Structure 1
Amino acid sequence: MFAAIASGNPLQMSEELPNSNGLQHTVVLSSTKPKSYSHITLFILPNVTFPQEYIANVYFKISATEDFKLFGYLASEKPSAIFKVKLPNMMDSSSQDDGLGEIDMDEDYTGLPSDGSIKMDNSDGNNISQLLIGISIEPRNEGMLKLQEIRNQNKAATSSSLVLAKPNVNSVQITTAGQLAKMYPVLTHDLAAKIVQHAYNYLSGFLDSNGDVNIKRFDTWWDKFRKRLANDGTFLDEVTTE
Structure 2
Amino acid sequence: MFAAIASGNPLQLSTEVPNSNNLQHTIVLSSTKPKSYSHITTFILPNVTFPAEFAGTVYFKLSPAEEFKFFGYLSAEKPSAIFKVRMPNLNVSAATEPGDGLGEIDMDDEIPGEASTSGNISEIIIGISIEPIDQAILKAQELKSQQNPPVSSTSLVVARGNPTAVTNPGELAKMYPLVTQQLAARIVKHAHNYLTGFLDPQGNVPIKCFDNWWNKFKSRLQMDAQFLNEVTED
TM-score normalised per structure 2: 0.55
Q: Give the percent of matched residue pairs that are identical in Structure 1 and Structure 2.
A: 53
Structure 1 residue 123 and structure 2 residue 111: aligned? yes
Q: Write out per-residue CA displacement over residues 32-55 of structure 1, whole angstroms, 9 at most, x where no aligned residue.
A: 336452111111112211111110
8 Å contact kept, 1:84–1:104? no
Equivalent residues in 2 for 1:1-242, closer than 5 Å? 1-18=1-18, 24-33=24-33, 35-88=35-88, 97=91, 105=98, 109=100, 117=104, 119-120=106-107, 121-124=109-112, 125=114, 127-153=120-146, 156-157=147-148, 208=208, 214=215, 217=218, 220=221
Structure 1's 104 and 39: CA in aligned 2 closer, same or farther, altered over 3 A? farther
Structure 1 residues 46 and 103: alpha-carbon distance in aligned structure 2, compared to 1, 3 A threshold: farther
**Residues 80 and 129 (structure 1 numbering): CA distance in 2 closer, same or farther, change over 3 Å?**
farther
Q: What CA distance in whole angstroms lies between the structure 2 residues aligned with 1:118 and 1:42? A: 13
Gaps of 5+ in 1: 159-190, 196-201, 225-242
2: CA distance between counterparts of 1:214 and 1:37? 38
Q: Which amino acid in the other structure matches residue 61 of structure 2?
A: K
Distance verdict in 2 for CA 1:42–1:7, change over 3 Å: same
- AA of the residue aligned to 1:150: L
Deviates more, 1:60-69 or 1:120-129: 120-129
Please tell me the root mean square deviation across aligned C-alpha atoms, in Å. 4.2
What does the per-residue CA deviation read over 1:12-36, in whole Å, with 9 as the maximum and x for residues that have no partner? Answer: 111111357x971111112333645
TM-score, normalised by the number of residues in structure 1: 0.53
Q: Deviations over 1:115-135 (max 9, x none)?
A: 6x5644543238344111110
Partner of 1:157: helix, strand, or coil? coil
**Paired residues of 2:14 and 2:27 also in contact (CA < 8 A):** yes
Cα distance, 1:38–1:17 mapped onto 2, change above 3 Å: same
d(CA) in 1 for partners of 2:8 and 2:39?
Answer: 9
**Residue type of the alignment partner of 1:60:** F
Q: Counterpart amino acid of 1:157?
A: N
1:199 aligned partner: none
Partner AA of 2:111 in structure 1 = S
Work out the CA distance in 2 between the residues paired with 1:140 and 1:5: 24
Q: Structure 1 pair 40/119, CA: closer, same or farther in 2 (3 Å)?
A: closer
CA distance in 1 between counterparts of 2:15 and 2:94 reads 25
| Larger RCO, structures 1/2 (Cα 8 Å, 6+ apart) | 2
Relative distance call for 1:133 and 1:103 in structure 2 (3 A) is: farther
**CA distance in structure 1 between the partners assigned to 2:23 and 2:64 by the alignment:** 14
Aligned partners of 2:120 and 2:106: how far apart in 1?
Answer: 15
- Displacement after TM superposition at 1:208 (Å): 4.6
Instruction: Please list every run of 5 or more consecutive structure 2 residues that lacks an aligned counterpart in the other structure.
Output: 150-166, 172-183, 185-190, 192-206, 226-234
- Structure 1 residue 75: Cα displacement: 0.8
